[in-house]
Amino acid sequence: MIQQMAARCLKCKVPQCRKHCPVSTPIPDVTRLVEEGKEQEAAQILFANNPLSAVCSIVCPHERNCFGHCVLGKKSEPVDFFKIEQFLSWTFLKTYEPPVMEKNGARIAVIGSGPAGITMSILLSLMGYRVTLMEARDRIGGVLRYGIPGFRLPREIVDRYDPILRQLGVQFKPNTFIGSSITLDDMFIDGYKAVFIAVGTAKPNKLGLLGETLGNVYYAIDYLKSPEAYRLGRNVVVVGAGNVALDAARIAVRSIEPGGAVTVINNLLEEEIFGNRQEIDDAVREGIQFVHLLQALKLEEDGVKCVAVRAEKTESGTVYEEDFSRTQKIPADSIIVAIGQGPQGAVMADSNVSKTHRGLVAADENGHTSSPGVFAAGDIVTGPKTVVEAVAFAKKVALEIDRYCREN
C-alpha cells in the first residue's frame, strides 16, 4: 500500500512539499527509498530529520504543509505522504535501538517534556551529552499527553518515547517545579553547561468578561488535562475556534448527557478561523455546531450572552465590528473558554531571563536568551504553535547549544 502511495510522488526537483514543511522533511528521498523496498532506511531518515515524525504524521495541519502544496493537487489528489510517514515512523519507534555512542561528560538540563523538550533531549543525547529532563508533571509529553485528545494522538505513541529516552541515557526528573525549590542558578552551580527552557504555554487567556469565575465556566487547556473530572451537563458552548477549542469540543461531545449539543462560537468569518480544517470537518460530522461572527458579552449560569459581529473585507484585510442591535443568548450548562494560552510556572517568575511584553521568554532565532548558557524554544518563545514548528525550532537550538558547550 505505501509503495503505491510512494509511486505517485513525482520526485520534484524543487519539491514544494518539502519547502512548506517546517522541518523540511526530505519527502522525495523517502518515497524513492520506499519504492525501492528500503523502508527501514527511509524510516531512519525520517527519525534523524524529526524525532517526533511519528507524532507529526498524525497531528500536523497537513493541508497547510506537505499535502496542501503537493503539485499533484492542482489536477488530481495530492500524495498522502503523511500516511507513509505514519506507517514508517511508528514501525521504527517500536523497534528503535539507539546507536552506541561515547558520552562527552557535559551535562545539560532540559526543562519541560513537551515536543521541544523531547526533541532536544533526543538530539543532545545523540550528540553525546548527559541530559536531565525535568518535568512539572509525573509523565513526559506535555501538550502531546495533556493537550491533544487520545482519539487524535494515541497515547501508546507518546508512551513509546519514555523507553527511548531511557535507552539514550536521559535522566527523567518528574514532578519538578523549576523556580520554586530549584532555580536556574542552582543548575549551573551543580555543573550543568547549559539549560534549555521548553515549558510551553499552559496558562489560559481570560476573556475578561463578567461571569468568568462561575462554577460552570472552564478553560479548555485545563479541561483537556483531565476531562473525566468534569460534569458538563447536556449543552456546552465553546468560546473560540482554534485547535485547542476544537479538541475541547470534540471531547465534550463524547461526554455530554444524551440529547445535548456542543456549540462552538467565534467572532471571525468561517474562512478565517485558526483551527485545523480536517478537524473542523471531523467535528461537524460528530454533530458539533459552529456559529461564526458572534462575540461573547457575558457568561452566565445558563448560557452565553452574545452580540453579532459585522465583517467587511477591505484591501488591508477584514474589519470586524460588533452590532449591538443584534444580541442573543446561547443556552449552556457548561462554558469552555479557548482563546489562547500564555506562560505559566515558577521558572518564568523566578529567573532573570528577559521576557517579552507578553510574558514569554525573549530569545533570538537560535534560542539564545539574555542569560549566558540559557536557551529556549517552542511555545514559551513563540506563543502557541504547532508541534512540528516546536520541533523545527528545537532542532536549530540544539546545534547552537552544542556550539556553545564546545566553545565554553
3-state secondary structure 188-249: HHCCEEEEEECCCCCEECCCCCCCCCCCCEEEHHHHCCCHHHCCCCCEEEEECCCHHHHHHH
Helix, strand, coil percentages (3-state) for the chain, rounded to 5, are 40, 20, 40
- How far is 384 from 285, CA to CA, in rounded Å? 27
Of 168, 109, 165, 171, which is closest to residue 141 (Cα–Cα)?
A: 165
Provide the pLDDT for residue 10: 94
d(CA 241, CA 78): 27
pLDDT of residue 348: 63
Residue 113 DSSP label: -
Burial class (CB in 10 A: 0-12, 13-18, 19+), 191: exposed
Domain 107-203+341-407 CATH superfamily: FAD/NAD(P)-binding domain (3.50.50.60)
How many residues does the structure list for the chain? Answer: 408
Multiple choice CATH, 2-94, 1.10.1060.10, 3.40.50.970, 1.20.120.350, 3.20.20.150: 1.10.1060.10
Sign of the CA dihedral with 121 first, then 125, 129, and 130 last:
positive
The reported pLDDT for the residue numbered 346 is 58
CATH tag, 206-337: 3.50.50.60
Q: What is the pLDDT along the chain (408 residues), one digit of tens a residue?
A: 899 999 999 999 999 999 999 999 999 999 999 999 999 999 999 999 999 999 999 999 999 999 999 999 988 999 999 999 999 999 999 999 999 888 898 999 999 999 999 999 999 999 999 999 999 999 999 999 999 999 999 999 999 999 999 999 999 999 998 887 888 999 999 999 999 999 989 899 999 999 999 999 999 999 999 999 999 999 999 999 999 999 999 999 999 999 999 999 999 999 999 888 889 999 999 999 999 999 999 999 999 999 999 999 998 889 999 999 999 999 999 999 999 998 876 566 656 889 998 889 999 999 999 999 999 999 999 999 999 999 999 999 999 999 999 998
Confidence (pTM): 0.93
Question: Which ranges in the chain are annotated with CATH 3.50.50.60?
Answer: 107-203+341-407, 206-337
Smallest CA-to-CA distance from 335 within 244, 398, 262 is with 262
| pLDDT for residue 349 | 61
In the chain, list all ranges with CATH 1.10.1060.10: 2-94
CB 336 within 8 A of CB 238: yes
**Predicted local confidence at residue 32, as pLDDT:** 97
